[in-house]
Chains A and B, each alone.
Chain A
Amino acid sequence: QSALTQPASVSGSPGQSITISCTGTSSDVGGYNYVSWYQQHPGKAPKLMIYDVNYRPSGVSNRFSGSKSGNTASLTISGLQAEDEADYYCSSFTITSTVIFGGGTKLTVL
């Protein structure tokens, strides 16, 4: 099973909004409302930012939001801040009861 498809990189200026897409198939992203997003700073463990498509864990800024349409999920970060610069990964539950990740997107804050 191939990884979910994410853009390799996105960038934005402080204060702007960016959106990262995550495309799968009807056997994963499109078939379940079980998409999650993770932020990973260099040398650190991943951190959960969004779960079940559009829910934020306690302590995560409301500048982070998630959505899904068909086989594509999206993470939007509004009011970009320097600390948002990191790698972002999507993941989805799959029809085989496994989990699949996206290839990751490097966010650069200009």
Chain B
Amino acid sequence: EVQLVESGGGLVHPGGSLRLSCAASGFTVSSTYMNWVRQAPGKGLEWVSIIYAAGPTYYAASVKGRFTISRDHSRNTLYLQMNSLRPEDTAIYYCASAGGSYTFFNSWGLGTLVTVSS
């Protein structure tokens, strides 16, 4: 059974950094396309980043240059390093695995809440 469990969220001051983790089971994170998607309180979904099985990465314009997606094959874990955090980055962050055409998200974690506030 595929399972994704996010961790690492919390309260951080503007300008600060945080690293999110997503532990996977039931499949290998390095063998598929893995994503981060976020949802601000009371708002809609926003795609954040993807890492391809072969390694290329892509980012939403709103986080490019500040966030870095990566993975650890030995730990079967996906990461999101978030730097220069802003209040508008406050959201629940979900990791999601991509299926088939690698353009849709077929498995989701429960999310971890990041709050950026002074």
> Residues of A with Cβ closer than 8 Å to B?
1, 3, 32, 34, 36, 38, 40, 45-48, 51-52, 57, 87, 89, 91-93, 96-104
Interface size, B (range): 20 to 34
Q: Are B44 and A102 in contact (CB under 8 A)?
A: yes
Contact across chains for A104 and B44 when beta carbons are under 8 A apart: yes
A32 to B102, CA, bound (A): 13
Binds A, one of B17-25, B45-53, B70-78, B81-89: B45-53
Inter-chain contact count A-B, CB under 8 Å? 70
| B44 x A89 contact (CB < 8 A) | yes
> Contact at A89–B101, with CB atoms within 8 Å?
no
The answer to whether A46 and B45 have CB atoms under 8 Å apart is yes
Contact of A103 among B37, B44, B47, B109 (CB under 8 A): B44
Whether A38 pairs with B110 at a CB distance below 8 angstroms is no
Question: Which residues of the partner chain B approach A3 to less than 8 Å between Cβ atoms?
Answer: 44
Is B60 touching A98 in the complex (CB atoms < 8 A)? yes
Q: In the complex, are the beta carbons of B108 and A1 less than 8 A apart?
A: no
User: Cβ of B31 < 8 Å from any Cβ of A?
Assistant: no
In the complex, chain B residues whose CB is within 8 Å of the CB of A32: 103
Residues of chain B with a CB closer than 8 A to A57's CB: 99, 106
A99 touches B44 (CB 8 A): no
User: Which residues on B sit within 8 Å (CB–CB) of A47?
Assistant: 108
